[in-house]
């Protein structure tokens, strides 16, 4: 698929899956989408390996935008991007946006064929800072 992919990373698998569900229902299947959540041991948290897997799953040559919830999700996502390494890491951006609204808005933008830069900018507009 040539549209930008969206990855949702939450501490809670329920939040991540629910957010992905909203994206699918509100935006459709035009956007590569993957989610992950939980620490991999049944508890809340995020996990670098799972994030790398989700990026693979949602991979698009147009790039991937990652939506995260709390701090550790951001730290782990940035680590995952670094471990994926160049050249792919150049096309992956961790967004500074609320996870649910950001995912839906970014996916909406992506479904119209927007560039990674445009998709990320749309998500960032939701951020108060």
Partner 1 sequence: MLQLSNDSSFDTAGGMETGNLRDMAELNLSRLITTAADTIAAHAEELTALDQAIGDGDHGLNMKRGFEAVRSEAEAFSAKPLPEALKAIGTKLVMTVGGASGPLFGTLFMALGKEISAAPDRANLTGAFGKAIEAVAARGKSQVGQKTMLDVLQPVHDALLQGRAPFEIADIADAAAEATVPMKALRGRASFLGDRSIGHMDAGARSTALLVRTVAKTVGESA
Nearer CB in complex with partner 1: 4/84: 84
- What is the per-residue binding string for partner 1 in 34-73, x denoting contact by CB under 8 A? -----xxx-xxxxxxx--------------------xxx-
The CA–CA distances, whole Å, from 118 to 4, 44, 73, 99, 115 equal: 10, 31, 23, 17, 5
Query: How many whole angstroms separate alpha carbon 20 and alpha carbon 79?
Result: 22
Residue 83 and residue 59: Cα distance in Å, rounded?
Answer: 15
**x/- string (CB under 8 A) for partner 1, residues 77-96?**
-xx---x-------------
* Token pair recorded at residue 20: 């992905």
Task: Output 76 or 122, the one with its CB closest to partner 1.
Answer: 76
Please name which of 58, 20, 110 lies closest in space to residue 122, comparing C-alpha atoms: 110
Nearer to partner 1, 79 or 121 (CB): 79
Interface with partner 1, residue 10, by CB under 8 A: no
Residues recognised as catalytic: 11
Positions touching partner 1 (CB under 8 A) are: 39-41, 43-49, 70-72, 75-76, 78-79, 83
């Amino acid at each position: 698929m040539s549209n930008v992919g969206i990855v949702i990373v939450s501490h809670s698998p329920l939040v991540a899956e629910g957010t992905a569900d909203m994206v699918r229902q509100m935006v459709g299947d035009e956007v590569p989408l993957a989610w992950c959540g939980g620490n991999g041991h049944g508890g809340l948290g995020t996990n670098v390996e799972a994030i790398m897997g989700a990026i693979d799953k949602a991979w698009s040559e147009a790039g991937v935008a990652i939506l995260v919830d709390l701090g550790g999700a951001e730290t782990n996502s940035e680590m995952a991007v670094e471990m994926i390494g160049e050249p792919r890491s150049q096309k992956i951006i961790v967004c500074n946006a609320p996870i649910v609204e950001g995912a839906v808005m970014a996916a909406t933008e992506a479904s119209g064929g927007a560039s990674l830069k445009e998709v990320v900018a749309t998500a960032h507009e939701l951020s108060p800072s």
